[in-house]
Chain A
Amino acid sequence: MEYRSFSSRLSWRIIGIVSVIFLISFIVVAIVSHLTITEEAVRSTRYILHGTVNEIEKPLTEVEISTKMVGAYMTPVIDNPEMLQMIASRTVELSDLIVGCAIIFVHPDGSCDTSRKSEFSYMGEGTAQKFVPNSQQLHQIVKRWAEKPVANKDGSWTPPIPAPYNPSVVITTYCYPLVDSALNVYAIVATDLPIGWMQDKVENLRPYENAITTLFFDEEHVLGIKESDSDLVKRFVRALEEDKEYDNMVSDLRENKDSLRRRVGKGGETSIMAYAPLHNGWMISILCPYRDVLRQSSRSHVSLMIVGIIGLFILFFTCRREIRRMTRPVTELAVSAQNMARGNFNAKLPEITSHDEMLRLHDSFLYMQDSLNDYIGQLKTTRNDKARMESELDVARNIQKGMLSTEFPPNLHAMLTPAREVGGDLYAFMQDGDQLSFSIGDVSGKGVPAALTMAVTCTAIRVVSNSKQSFGEPLDKLVSRINHIVTITNSNNMFVTLFTGRINLKTRRMDFCNAGHNSLVILPPAGKPYFLKAKANLTVGLFDDFPYVPESIDLEPGTRIVAYTDGVTEAENADKELYGDDRLLETVSQLAPEMDDKAAVEYIYQSVSDFADGNPQNDDITIMCIRI
């Protein structure tokens, strides 16, 4: 796995948590600020709207009052066309607002009363001019003006149209009915108000950059749509018509309520729409795209985000530096520990000044270092001791090997395999002409004590039989002398089982004396192998005066003699079974006549080794084969 330092992981963890908190805070702030800004936008838009309504209504009201007054002046002179014409002209001339004034006569049903002469006056070239419409124009005018006043018996404004007397000026007309005593309308007094100033007002009313202000006269006449905005407003109006929003708006207007709604326009554009009715049934609306409203807050959100991210970076690096500073002892301890693991037990530990877990960790490390040093010291001593002992044992092993002759005569071979570095088994032999003498023995116990006793015994055998004269001595005498030497040097009750034999190769008579050793196996040239029956004399090394008894046997030519130690018969396999006497007899019976002594020894050893099958050898194994 990739290595990542503790300080770096801790820093990342802290930054992660802080980032999440920051993000949540940011979202909450953004939501709250959106709500606040939206509310603020609604409030200011409504405020602006009401101001504009007042500004537009003021001249309208003035014109309405003026018109009613004109009506009042005209009523007494209603039958005098010249006076009517004069009043109309004076009205046009005196008023700052009114550009045209007229009186038309109608029947109570609203149709044109041609029996009386209507009078028209308008402002032209600085003075009042008289306007005489043709018959068709007159009928159109009557139709436009009379319908609502006759029906309502009250004044009303017409939608804007280019003035008939000056098509370059767009006007709206206030029509006020005059009624007789029977409350029948007989005439309409009308004054023209140009709408250019309204247009200016509406166009300049832009609380937000892309806001659109619109003045609705009725469903067909709309003011304030510029060519570039027309699509948007049309879309908006169409959207309004398609859903309940429009119905609500109409009903609001009918009840003279102003209102403000927010909606999603078609095409994904979200807008705030505010609208307010005028007293004469017109309506002003302001459409503000939501993105404009929120632009301010979006800008501040971006700033906040940038500041936040910079803050997080600073926090990360500061945190990392601080954590690294505080955890430096851990890093250094880790390095020390690694050095210790590589074997440098005196690795320097960092100094800790704080009194906290770091100090405890440091102290534990120090303690561990001391313990390790002690332990390693002991281990080194032990190892050196062991190495010295091993080398000494190695020398001892060589010395011991040297005591065992390996230059075998033609009819004898022997092999000794110690269980440990040194062992207690021994063999010896000597030939002089037809005389062949041999010994095989096993010292009680194992290891160094047994090896020392083995050395004494070997030396004793050599001393006793190291002359041709020794072949002339009785065998029991020889064994007694060996026993004597071993006994007087044996203060520790060690003993040696020792079989000694002497064969006259000519007569094939064997003298032997068995001092507590395993019986030999005799394999006659024809027949089965058997254990040589021998009197059990006491082992060598215990009692100086023990009377050893010699025996003799005559052997056939071609007889094989197998001498061995108990390491053979007591070899164990993994199932704790012993090799045993029977298996030994069986193995010896398998020795082919053509096998020489060396091959016979190796065959028996291999059989024992196969039997043990890797199970550790727990006693020395010695095998000696003789053929006569």
Chain B
Amino acid sequence: MDIKIEKQDNKTIVVLNGRVDTTNADQFQQDMEPLMEGENPDIEIDCTDMSYTSSQGLRIFLMLQKSVNARKGKMVLRNMNPQVKEVFDITGFSNIITIM
């Protein structure tokens, strides 16, 4: 998968491209870890080109969400395709993560 991270004003924009699965979940976690600390907690994730996420991927989104909540910020996932959205729905993650 391909990850682009961009700092914009006081929020971070992440663009995900491809699959999040067993083979690259660790890498995804490492890339996201810097976003789980610091003064500007707001994160916007563009999921237009994310084709799949495994439970490990869900766990990382959850970790992000928890760190954002702890710093009283906001995290938004945008343009998620229906198959991926379904995973978030089934697992109930849609209840705790904002998907627009």
How far is the CB of B36 from the nearest CB of chain A, in Å?
11
Within 8 A of A (CB), among B2-16: none
| Cβ-based interface call for A538 (8 A) | yes
Give me the 4 closest cross-chain CB pairs, A-B, nearest first: A516-B91, A538-B92, A444-B55, A516-B92
| Cβ-based interface call for B59 (8 A) | yes
Q: Which of A443, A446, A538 contacts B91 (CB 8 A)?
A: A538
Asked whether A495 lies within 8 Å of B59 as measured between CB atoms, the reply is: yes
Q: Which of B55, B63, B66, B95 contacts A445 (CB 8 A)?
A: B55
| Cβ-based interface call for A537 (8 A) | yes
Asked whether A444 lies within 8 Å of B59 as measured between CB atoms, the reply is: yes
Of chain A, the residue at the smallest CB distance from B96 is A538
Asked whether A538 lies within 8 Å of B55 as measured between CB atoms, the reply is: no
Residues of A within 8 A of B96 (CB): 538, 542-543
How far is the CB of B83 from the nearest CB of chain A, in Å?
10
Asked whether A536 lies within 8 Å of B90 as measured between CB atoms, the reply is: yes
| Cβ-based interface call for B28 (8 A) | no
Residues of B within 8 A of A539 (CB): 91-93
Binding site for A on B (CB under 8 A): 22, 25, 55-56, 58-59, 62-63, 66, 89-96
State the CA gap A156–B62 with chains docked (Å): 151
Residues of A within 8 A of B92 (CB): 515-516, 536-539
Residues of A within 8 A of B58 (CB): 444, 495
State the CA gap A14–B25 with chains docked (Å): 69
**Binary interface encoding of chain A residues 430-453 relative to chain B, with 1 for a CB under 8 A from any of its CBs, else 0:** 000000000000111110000000
A442, A445, A518, A519: residue with the most chain B Cβ atoms closer than 10 Å: A445
Q: Which of A443, A494, A517, A536 contacts B94 (CB 8 A)?
A: A536
State the CA gap A442–B56 with chains docked (Å): 12
Residues of A within 8 A of B55 (CB): 442-445, 495, 497
| Cβ-based interface call for A618 (8 A) | yes
Query: Interface majority SS on A: helix, strand, loop or mixed?
Result: loop
State the CA gap A537–B59 with chains docked (Å): 16
State the CA gap A497–B92 with chains docked (Å): 9
Residues of B within 8 A of A444 (CB): 55-56, 58-59
Q: Which of A445, A542, A546 contacts B56 (CB 8 A)?
A: A445
State the CA gap A519–B93 with chains docked (Å): 15
| Cβ-based interface call for A353 (8 A) | no
State the CA gap A208–B100 with chains docked (Å): 130
Asked whether B90 lies within 8 Å of A518 as measured between CB atoms, the reply is: yes
Residues of B within 8 A of A618 (CB): 22
**Binary interface encoding of chain A residues 360-403 relative to chain B, with 1 for a CB under 8 A from any of its CBs, else 0:** 00000000000000000000000000000000000000000000
Asked whether B93 lies within 8 Å of A516 as measured between CB atoms, the reply is: yes
Query: How many interface residues does A have (CB within 8 Å)?
Result: 22
| Cβ-based interface call for A354 (8 A) | no
How far is the CB of A577 from the nearest CB of chain B, in Å?
13
How far is the CB of B29 from the nearest CB of chain A, in Å?
10
How far is the CB of B93 from the nearest CB of chain A, in Å?
7
State the CA gap A133–B63 with chains docked (Å): 165
How far is the CB of A506 from the nearest CB of chain B, in Å?
31
| Cβ-based interface call for A134 (8 A) | no
Residues of B within 8 A of A538 (CB): 91-93, 95-96
| Cβ-based interface call for A493 (8 A) | yes
Asked whether B66 lies within 8 Å of A493 as measured between CB atoms, the reply is: yes
Could you jot down 12 A-B contacts, CB within 8 Å?
A: A444-B56, A444-B58, A445-B56, A516-B92, A518-B90, A519-B90, A536-B89, A538-B92, A539-B93, A543-B96, A546-B95, A618-B22
Q: Which of B25, B62, B90, B95 contacts A517 (CB 8 A)?
A: B90
State the CA gap A546–B89 with chains docked (Å): 15
A519, A539, A546: residue with the most chain B Cβ atoms closer than 10 Å: A539
Q: Beyond A493-B66, A618-B22, is A445–B93 a contact (Cβ under 8 Å)?
A: no
Of chain B, the residue at the smallest CB distance from A538 is B92
How far is the CB of B18 from the nearest CB of chain A, in Å?
13
Asked whether B90 lies within 8 Å of A493 as measured between CB atoms, the reply is: no
How far is the CB of B82 from the nearest CB of chain A, in Å?
13
Asked whether B22 lies within 8 Å of A536 as measured between CB atoms, the reply is: no
Asked whether A493 lies within 8 Å of B95 as measured between CB atoms, the reply is: no
A515, A516, A517: residue with the most chain B Cβ atoms closer than 10 Å: A516
State the CA gap A243–B34 with chains docked (Å): 119
Of chain A, the residue at the smallest CB distance from B58 is A444
State the CA gap A518–B86 with chains docked (Å): 10
Of chain B, the residue at the smallest CB distance from A419 is B22
Of chain A, the residue at the smallest CB distance from B66 is A493
Residues of A within 8 A of B90 (CB): 497, 516-519, 536
